[in-house]
Amino acid sequence: MRGRSLRLGRGGEFDRLRAIFAALGAAGRDLGDDCALLSVGGRTLAISIDLSLEGVHFRTDWLALREIGWRATAAALSDLAAEGATPLGVLVSLGVPGNPKGLPDGRRQRRAGNASPAVQIMAGVGAAARSVGASVLGGDLVRSPRYLVDVCVLGVAQRPVRRSGARPGDGLWVTGRLGGAGLALAALRAGRGRRGGRLAPASRRRFARPVPRIAAGRWLARRGARAMIDISDGLAGDAGHLAAASGVGVAIELERVPCWPGVTPFAAVRSGEEYELLVAMPRRFGPADAKAFGRATGLPLTRIGACIAGRGVRVTYDGRPITPPPGFDHFRAR
Amino acid sequence: MRGRSLRLGRGGEFDRLRAIFAALGAAGRDLGDDCALLSVGGRTLAISIDLSLEGVHFRTDWLALREIGWRATAAALSDLAAEGATPLGVLVSLGVPGNPKGLPDGRRQRRAGNASPAVQIMAGVGAAARSVGASVLGGDLVRSPRYLVDVCVLGVAQRPVRRSGARPGDGLWVTGRLGGAGLALAALRAGRGRRGGRLAPASRRRFARPVPRIAAGRWLARRGARAMIDISDGLAGDAGHLAAASGVGVAIELERVPCWPGVTPFAAVRSGEEYELLVAMPRRFGPADAKAFGRATGLPLTRIGACIAGRGVRVTYDGRPITPPPGFDHFRAR
């Protein structure tokens, strides 16, 4: 088995990505999947790479360096979760601003303890990896004008779940509650997230220390998930990716969307970088199964709609169509 | 089997890297190896990641975008070569300057053919991967103030060769001829490498399109290589890494070092980013074996010294010690 992955760029970059893969002689339905798949020794390896740049994906005045490392790693691990894979390890390339300002030399660093920026970021990387049983296998470290953290994750999938397996009639389910990351982002943008600000700790944590839904992804894969994607572009946008890859339509009932406290369903479906899972389950999967999921993972699993014949995403609120469907304003720190 | 890799930083960054891995709870002799090793389904996966930044590792006025992609990929694949591994695939994170200047939008790009910067870089990545039978498995693409190419390579090693297996009495051998990359770099720095300049095409190619020594590494692994490293920091520096990892000393006879035309042995052992292999072979490996290597790979294999009891690198020229041993001025484009 060999499947390719390429992260869908932000905004209207799909054409560009298709051109790139066309130039490489690669194409096909798996183009935009969460992970690449590679058969090694009779097992299926799931691999993904995820680049986080200062000024694009994070700001150093919003997050501690340790949180920057955690967040970049959790985002990459979320791709393994969406594949139903079990993480093995991570490799990390780090760009860190150089001396004289950013980076203590060896001697100064020993005096200051393990306080160098690279060490702080890697402590977050290591903590995120350990939280899902993975280890840090290797890395590269380069001086760079701005911080950058590029994380490559490797896992094994017994039954990999692609984006492309949904069929009309499948139920559409989502883990957790949506909107917390967007709430935190809005507060940070408004300057309310810093020390002494009005950002609730739980919301801040949701943004700064997202939890990759590894156990949830594995549980859903074992229970016959047909298609799965992690919510990084917002529920509405990612539902569109799943629908396109599967060649189906998706109908979302907005009033069913599980929302973070204080967030409306309209905001919840636009909130990106939530790192919850959107999954198409066979029709027979029902409320009792969702309860079993809750007992196994401690998370709610909510049916928010269904896969239907056709294409695209249709959103209703109490039966009335919402046109156009709520989209996603992607986080741009700049 | 689980081995870790962390690229040794440029200059005096070893303490920093040790602190990072100490913070992760990881340590051991394999710390600085070329690849991380991971056992999957009874096979040994070799993995490495290698970050190339504009202004640090390359300049866009020295290299075409396609060459930048090739070079970054070849550098990462060279780590697999030094492990004796067979490449499977690569994943690439790309940072590309954004609109309005750097990156055509979908429509403008279609009009211009596949000429977008990201496509050009990926064409080089794809060509380098194909040249060793690997495929591009996936990637990430982000707008960035400067170009960056981070390449994660995956391979399988039947008999992985670490840096740490050399023993006193082993012969020390090197593939190819050294100094061509340094020659090109000096010319580029002096402004002689651009169109109409005086840089010989073969030297320029050596810098712009290095060839990862995959077949050579596999051949040497099969023939019992005890320790192997690719020459990225210069022969003298990398010999020091191999000696330290193996707990041996290394004696190099400078007059034996195979030099690129027009390069002195003193310059050849300082030249970095050569991507040839330095290998410790058992004492019984001799000239007839080197000839067989040449027939198999088309490359010279030259005995330049031996591993000895003790530690560090000793360099002689016609029997006289060179003190201090010639070091390596690492390429800094800035």
Q: Does residue B139 share a domain with residue B62?
A: yes
Contacts of B6 in chain A (CB under 8 A): 138-141
The residue in chain B having the minimum alpha-carbon distance to the alpha carbon of residue A103 is B16
Q: Does residue B301 share a domain with residue B187?
A: yes
Q: Does residue A73 share a domain with residue A206?
A: no
Instruction: Determine the longest span between alpha carbons in chain B, in angstroms.
Output: 66
Domain end (from A104, A130, A156): A156
pLDDT value for B110:
43
Burial of B189 (0-12, 13-18, 19+ CB in 10 A): middle
Among candidates B303, B238, B325, B246, which has minimal Cα distance to B275? B238
Contacts of B56 in chain A (CB under 8 A): 142-144
Are A38 and B122 an interchain contact pair (Cβ–Cβ within 8 Å)? no
Are B6 and A47 an interchain contact pair (Cβ–Cβ within 8 Å)? no
Is residue A282 assigned to a domain?
yes
Is residue A194 assigned to a domain?
yes
The fraction of chain A above a pLDDT of 90, given in percent, is 72
Residue A82 token pair = 């969406």
Average pLDDT of chain B? Answer: 86
Q: Look up the ipTM and state it.
A: 0.89
Are B89 and A38 an interchain contact pair (Cβ–Cβ within 8 Å)? yes
What 3-state class would DSSP assign to B181? helix
Residue B206 has pLDDT above 90, yes or no: yes
- Distance CA(B60)–CA(B58), nearest Å, equals 7
Residue B100 has pLDDT above 80, yes or no: no
SS percent in chain B: helix, strand, coil, step 5: 35, 30, 40
The residue in chain B having the minimum alpha-carbon distance to the alpha carbon of residue A26 is B136
The fraction of chain B above a pLDDT of 70, given in percent, is 81
pLDDT value for B22:
57
Is residue A166 assigned to a domain?
no
Burial of A245 (0-12, 13-18, 19+ CB in 10 A): buried
Is residue B331 assigned to a domain?
no
Residue B222 has pLDDT above 70, yes or no: yes
The residue in chain A having the minimum alpha-carbon distance to the alpha carbon of residue B11 is A105
DSSP states of B67-105:
HHHHHHHHHHHHHHHHHTPEEEEEEEEEEE--TTTS---
- Location of structure tokens 């088995």: A1
Among candidates B118, B293, B136, B150, which has minimal Cα distance to B223? B293
Contacts of B119 in chain A (CB under 8 A): 16, 19-20, 23
Among B14, B26, B91, select the one facing A152 at the smallest CB separation.
B91
Residue B113 has pLDDT above 60, yes or no: no
- Distance CA(A256)–CA(B303), nearest Å, equals 72
Contacts of B91 in chain A (CB under 8 A): 36, 47-49, 152
The two beta strands, B312-317 and B249-253, are: parallel
Give the gap in angstroms from C-alpha A109 to the nearest C-alpha of chain B.
Answer: 7
Are B56 and A142 an interchain contact pair (Cβ–Cβ within 8 Å)? yes
Residue type, B62: W
Among B6, B16, B138, select the one facing A49 at the smallest CB separation.
B138
Among B12, B15, B95, select the one facing A51 at the smallest CB separation.
B95
Q: Which of B8, B10, B56, B150 to mutate to test the interface with A (most CBs of A within 10 A)?
A: B150
Find the range with the poorest average confidence among A127-131, B26-30, B83-87, B282-286. Answer: B26-30
- Distance CA(B172)–CA(B236), nearest Å, equals 12
Q: Does residue B92 share a domain with residue B237?
A: no
Are A136 and B26 an interchain contact pair (Cβ–Cβ within 8 Å)? yes
Q: Does residue A189 share a domain with residue A92?
A: no
Are B138 and A43 an interchain contact pair (Cβ–Cβ within 8 Å)? no
| DSSP 8-state secondary structure symbol assigned to residue B223 | T
Among candidates A20, A155, A14, which has minimal Cα distance to A78? A155
Are B119 and A12 an interchain contact pair (Cβ–Cβ within 8 Å)? no
Give the gap in angstroms from C-alpha B241 to the nearest C-alpha of chain A.
Answer: 16
Q: Does residue B144 share a domain with residue B118?
A: yes
Are B13 and A141 an interchain contact pair (Cβ–Cβ within 8 Å)? yes
Residue B46 has pLDDT above 60, yes or no: yes
pLDDT value for A233:
87
* Residue numbers of chain A with a pLDDT score lower than 70: 1-32, 99-115, 193-197, 327-334
Are A106 and B43 an interchain contact pair (Cβ–Cβ within 8 Å)? no
Q: Does residue A6 share a domain with residue A152?
A: yes
What 3-state class would DSSP assign to B263? coil
Are B16 and A145 an interchain contact pair (Cβ–Cβ within 8 Å)? no
Are A110 and B19 an interchain contact pair (Cβ–Cβ within 8 Å)? yes
Residue type, B306: A
SS percent in chain A: helix, strand, coil, step 5: 35, 30, 40
pLDDT value for B28:
40
Asked if residues A60 and A195 have their Cβ atoms less than 8 Å apart, the reply is no
Q: Does residue B229 share a domain with residue B178?
A: yes
Considering Cα of A66, then A72, then A73, then A78, what sign does the dihedral take? positive
- Distance CA(A226)–CA(A82), nearest Å, equals 11
Residue A153 token pair = 């994750």
Residue B329 has pLDDT above 50, yes or no: no
Give the CATH number of the domain where residue A60 resides: 3.30.1330.10
Among A23, A47, A106, select the one facing B126 at the smallest CB separation.
A23
Are B154 and A47 an interchain contact pair (Cβ–Cβ within 8 Å)? yes
pLDDT value for A199:
85
Are B15 and A109 an interchain contact pair (Cβ–Cβ within 8 Å)? yes
Q: Does residue A183 share a domain with residue A139?
A: no
- Distance CA(A233)–CA(A231), nearest Å, equals 6
The two beta strands, B148-156 and B86-96, are: antiparallel
Give the gap in angstroms from C-alpha A303 to the nearest C-alpha of chain B.
Answer: 31
Give the number of domains in chain A.
2
Cα→Cα distances A309→A29, A197, A247, A313, Å: 18, 47, 9, 11
- Distance CA(A88)–CA(A219), nearest Å, equals 17
Residue A39 token pair = 């058969």
Report the length, in residues, of chain B.
Answer: 334
- Distance CA(A235)–CA(A241), nearest Å, equals 10
Q: Does residue B79 share a domain with residue B202?
A: no
Instruction: Determine the longest span between alpha carbons in chain A, in angstroms.
Output: 66
pLDDT value for A116:
85
Are A140 and B89 an interchain contact pair (Cβ–Cβ within 8 Å)? no
Domain end (from A113, A130, A156): A156
Per residue in A26-85, pLDDT (tens digit) is 544 345 688 999 999 899 999 999 999 999 999 999 999 999 999 999 999 999 999 999
- Distance CA(A89)–CA(A17), nearest Å, equals 27
**Cα of B57 vs its chain's centroid, Å:** 13
Asked if residues A4 and A42 have their Cβ atoms less than 8 Å apart, the reply is no
φ, ψ of residue A272 to 5 degrees: the values are -95, 175
Is residue A138 assigned to a domain?
yes
Give the gap in angstroms from C-alpha B80 to the nearest C-alpha of chain A.
Answer: 14
Among B12, B122, B152, select the one facing A24 at the smallest CB separation.
B122
Cα→Cα distances B308→B167, B249, B270, B296, B322, Å: 7, 5, 22, 29, 17
What 3-state class would DSSP assign to B169? coil
pLDDT value for A327:
67
Are A89 and B135 an interchain contact pair (Cβ–Cβ within 8 Å)? no
Q: Does residue B150 share a domain with residue B9?
A: yes
User: pTM for the complete prediction?
Assistant: 0.90
Among candidates A44, A84, A19, A37, which has minimal Cα distance to A215? A84
- Distance CA(A195)–CA(A201), nearest Å, equals 11
Helices marked H in B133-269 — which ranges?
180-189, 201-208, 214-222, 235-246, 265-268
pLDDT value for B256:
98
Q: Does residue B29 share a domain with residue B101?
A: yes
Domain end (from A156, A183, A212): A156
Are B150 and A93 an interchain contact pair (Cβ–Cβ within 8 Å)? yes
Side by side, the strands of the sheet bearing B277-281 are: B227-230, B277-281, B171-175, B301-308, B249-253, B312-317, B320-322
Among B91, B93, B123, select the one facing A47 at the smallest CB separation.
B91
The fraction of chain B above a pLDDT of 90, given in percent, is 72
Contacts of A20 in chain B (CB under 8 A): 118-119, 122, 139, 141
Is residue B166 assigned to a domain?
no
Is residue A327 assigned to a domain?
no
Is residue B102 assigned to a domain?
yes
Contacts of B14 in chain A (CB under 8 A): 106
Considering Cα of A253, then A303, then A187, then A234, what sign does the dihedral take? negative
Among candidates B108, B118, B112, which has minimal Cα distance to B139? B118
Contacts of B141 in chain A (CB under 8 A): 6-7, 9, 13, 16-17, 20
What is the domain extent for residue B62? 2-156
Give the CATH number of the domain where residue A239 resides: 3.90.650.10
Angle between helices A65-83 and A214-222 (to 10 degrees): 0
Asked if residues B81 and B155 have their Cβ atoms less than 8 Å apart, the reply is no
Burial of B329 (0-12, 13-18, 19+ CB in 10 A): exposed
Task: Write out B116-159 in H/E/C secondary structure.
Answer: CHHHHHHHHHHHHHHHCCCEEEEEEEEECCCCEEEEEEEEECCC
pLDDT value for A192:
78
What 3-state class would DSSP assign to A42? coil
